[in-house]
Amino acid sequence: MRALVWHGPRSMRLERVPDPVPGPGEVLLRVEAVGICGSELSGYLGENSLRRPPLVMGHEFVASVAALGPGAGAAVGARVVVNPLLPCGACPACRRGQRHLCAERRIVGAARPGAFADAVAVPASACHEVAGDLPAPVAALAEPLACAVRAVGHARPEPGSRVLILGAGAIGLLAVAVALRAQPSLLAVADVHAARLGTAGLWGASHLIDGAGPVAEDARRLAGGEGVDIAVDAVGVAATRRAAVRAVRPGGRVVFVGLHDAESPLPCNEIVRGEVEVRGSFCYSEADFEAALAMLARGTLRQGPWIEERPLEEGPQAFDDLLRGAVGASKVILRP
């Protein structure tokens, strides 16, 4: 089969490799569509400790079951999306039911070969069946949508909440879709990229904020001076994390889901005096993943220019284009 093999910083090639052989309890999947994740851009640059070359990345995908390994419970031909987070099931976090915080977790496309290929083997238990008429690029969004479901869930929006989302990349946009379900009175989105901001507007954001300007001040003004109730940072750099904290009202809530800078200075005295709740959000629980699938099944997300499809062989070019900022779309999907 063909696979995009990453060999080190900025070095990725389409190669012929042997078909994966599904182990006990595993299935062999034919990949239909696979998204490129922001975490894989840092992986491509060699700046992500979870990813070591040589590696086939790819963890946001829809596929069909082509063959079964010994004892695998699945139907050949079923169309599935995969929860790529494989917990050990035995560590203290797993025993507490926090499988996404498993210390021994293995992520498809990081700790084992992923879906930037014609085929991939995964545990049958990680597969969730999806309808045949769900467009492939939309189905491939189940995993990032599950991340957005968890992040917005931590922020607990209510009808009338005033919400700020920093970043209109895939996670930020998907957070817009999730937050809208709570019927906020204000849903402002900030980004430095005009095309992505425009997409946020099409998706129902009530206000668009130029990320190059004073984001926290703009958001506070929109919320009547006091500050927004909720800020979700889907970027993860020092400036957006600080803006998120500074944009919320006293007693407001901040959720960090973007992962970029390892450390960021924050106005901690403002957090203390304002009793600002700050928390991180990582991946998704099984319930978040199911909630994302239910949203997709209801047709909440549509295809549009915010998704760009390219053939698998253009994968290396797509990584370079994304890193140069030469892609207006918020998500690039590869089609083997």
* Residue with smaller CB distance to Zn ion, 87 or 227: 87
Compute the distance between CA of residue 110 and CA of residue 56 in angstroms, rounded to an integer: 8
Q: Is 91 in the site for Zn ion (CB under 5 A)?
A: yes
- The 3-state DSSP class for residue 303 equals coil
Tell me the angle at which helices 170-180 and 194-202 cross, rounded to the nearest 10 degrees: 20
Number of residues that bind Zn ion (CB under 5 A): 7
Where does this chain touch Zn ion (CB under 5 A) — which range of 93-101, 221-229, 263-271, 293-301?
93-101
102 binds Zn ion (CB under 5 A): yes
The sign of the torsion formed by the CA atoms of 238, 243, 248, 253 equals negative
Q: Alpha-carbon distance 141 to 132, whole Å? A: 15
Nearer to Zn ion, 104 or 217 (CB): 104
By beta-carbon proximity to Zn ion, the closer residue of 29 and 174 is: 174
Structure tokens at 311: 């053939």
User: What are residue 11's DSSP bridge partners?
Assistant: 8
User: Is residue 88 within the footprint of Zn ion (CB under 5 A)?
Assistant: yes
Among 87, 114, 211, 258, binds Zn ion (CB under 5 A): 87
Residue 167 or 252 with smaller CB distance to Zn ion:
167
Q: Indicate the SS3 state at residue 99.
A: helix
Does position 78 bind Zn ion by CB under 5 A? no
Q: Where are the alpha helices (DSSP H) in the chain?
A: 38-44, 92-95, 136-139, 142-155, 170-180, 194-202, 215-222, 238-247, 268-273, 286-297, 315-323
The amino acid present at 274, given as its one-letter code, is G
Among residues 27, 72, 94, 329, the one that binds Zn ion under rule CB under 5 A:
94
Contact between 43 and 110 (Cβ < 8 Å): yes
Query: Does 58 participate in binding Zn ion (rule CB under 5 A)?
Result: no
Q: Nearer Cβ to Zn ion, position 146 or 179?
A: 146
Interacting span for Zn ion (CB under 5 A) from 35-43, 150-158, 205-213, 256-264: 35-43
Q: Does 65 help bind Zn ion (rule: CB under 5 A)? A: no
- Nearest of 336, 307, 317, 257 to residue 139 by alpha carbon: 307
Q: Can residue 37 be called a binding residue for Zn ion (CB under 5 A)?
A: yes
Stretch touching Zn ion by CB under 5 A, among 67-75, 91-99, 275-283, 298-306: 91-99
119 binds Zn ion (CB under 5 A): no
Residue 108 or 278 having the CB closest to Zn ion? 108
Where on the chain is the footprint of Zn ion (CB under 5 A)?
A: 37, 87-88, 91, 94, 102, 104
